[in-house]
């Protein structure tokens, strides 16, 4: 079946530090990959996505590249801010069959001033 | 404004009671979803619906029921058969007939058994 594995958190960084949150997946076919962000007490918002191998999704300084050879979609940001503190979820959606997102367990990011 | 609305934000249930969580969207999306979020476990799919009057079980459907009588609405009932219902419940919707589209989420309902 489909699955998504994320690095465990919390990840604690100082402001302006470099961020990497690892994400690997297992899926048949050619899934689309997503990063969603959840701020405290709220629902999820799409951060970025990539729909095929070697695509790079980017938004608000965050980037992730769809690596089919390593089945990975790691999230990176060059300089984090306190306002980036949130929970980040990696997810996939298959290109056939059930059209529903499969999520990783989430990684909490805490950025200290 | 277009969006997806869940109510109530907080809900308390006594042992043995059924409770219903509301989810309404005005985005004209065909597909709607219910997820359960527990600490450290991410989101797990309870039920989903891709069209009115049709819905499918997700990965953890036991103890839950849904209906989809209108395109805009997808209520979730947590029945007394759900043994551990305390969790954060999230509803989502998306266009399903085009691939790779964004799912929009509601603000969630936090259910607590008292």
Residue B99: its pLDDT value, please? 67
Residue B114: its pLDDT value, please? 86
Is 70 exceeded by the pLDDT of residue A78? yes
Mean pLDDT of B59-63: 96
Using pLDDT thresholds of 50, 70 and 90, give the confidence band for residue A63. very high
Mean pLDDT of B15-26: 94
Are A32 and B106 an interchain contact pair (Cβ–Cβ within 8 Å)? no
Q: Best residue in B5, B43, B105 to probe A by mutation, most A CBs within 10 Å?
A: B43
A69 Cβ neighbours under 8 A, 6+ residues apart = none
Using pLDDT thresholds of 50, 70 and 90, give the confidence band for residue B1. low
Residue among B43, B50, B102 minimizing CB distance to A99: B50
Instruction: Give the closest residue to B2 by CA, choosing from B89, B110, B95.
Output: B95
pLDDT in tens, B75-114: 999 999 888 999 999 999 998 777 678 899 999 999 998 8
Cβ B32 vs Cβ B91: under 8 Å: yes
Specify the higher pLDDT residue, B14 or B21: B21
Residue written as tokens 């009057």? B53
Is 90 exceeded by the pLDDT of residue B34? yes
Are A100 and B58 an interchain contact pair (Cβ–Cβ within 8 Å)? yes
Is 70 exceeded by the pLDDT of residue B35? yes
| Share above pLDDT 70 across residues of chain A, in percent, rounded to a whole number | 100
Chain A interface residues (partner B, CB cutoff 8 A): 4, 6, 32, 36, 41-46, 49, 51, 89, 93, 95, 98-106
Is 80 exceeded by the pLDDT of residue B14? yes
Q: What is the DSSP string of B6-72?
A: EE-SEEEE-TT--EEEEEEE-S--SEEEEEEE-TTS-EEEEEEEEETTEEEE-SS-TTEEE--SBTT
């Amino acid at each position: 079946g489909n699955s998504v594995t994320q690095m465990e958190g919390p990840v604690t960084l100082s402001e302006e530090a470099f961020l990497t949150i690892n994400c690997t997946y297992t899926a048949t076919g050619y899934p689309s990959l997503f990063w969603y962000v959840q701020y405290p007490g709220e629902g999820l918002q799409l951060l970025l996505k990539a729909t095929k191998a070697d695509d790079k999704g980017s938004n608000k300084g965050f980037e992730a590249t769809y690596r089919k050879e390593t089945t990975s979609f790691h999230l990176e940001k060059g300089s984090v801010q306190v306002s980036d503190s949130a929970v980040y979820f990696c997810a996939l959606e298959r290109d056939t069959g059930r059209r529903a997102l499969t999520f990783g367990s989430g990684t909490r990011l805490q950025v200290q001033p | 404004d277009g969006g997806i609305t869940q109510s109530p934000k907080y809900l308390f249930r006594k042992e043995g009671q059924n409770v219903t969580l509301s989810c309404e969207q005005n985005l004209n999306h065909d597909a709607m979803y219910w997820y359960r979020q527990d600490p450290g476990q991410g989101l797990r799919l309870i039920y989903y619906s891709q069209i009115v009057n049709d819905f499918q079980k997700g990965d953890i459907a036991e103890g839950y029921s849904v209906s989809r009588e209108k395109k805009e609405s997808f209520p979730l009932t947590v029945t007394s058969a759900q043994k551990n219902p305390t969790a954060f419940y999230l509803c989502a919707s998306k266009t399903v007939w085009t691939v790779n589209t964004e799912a929009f989420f509601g603000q969630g309902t936090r259910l607590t058994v008292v």
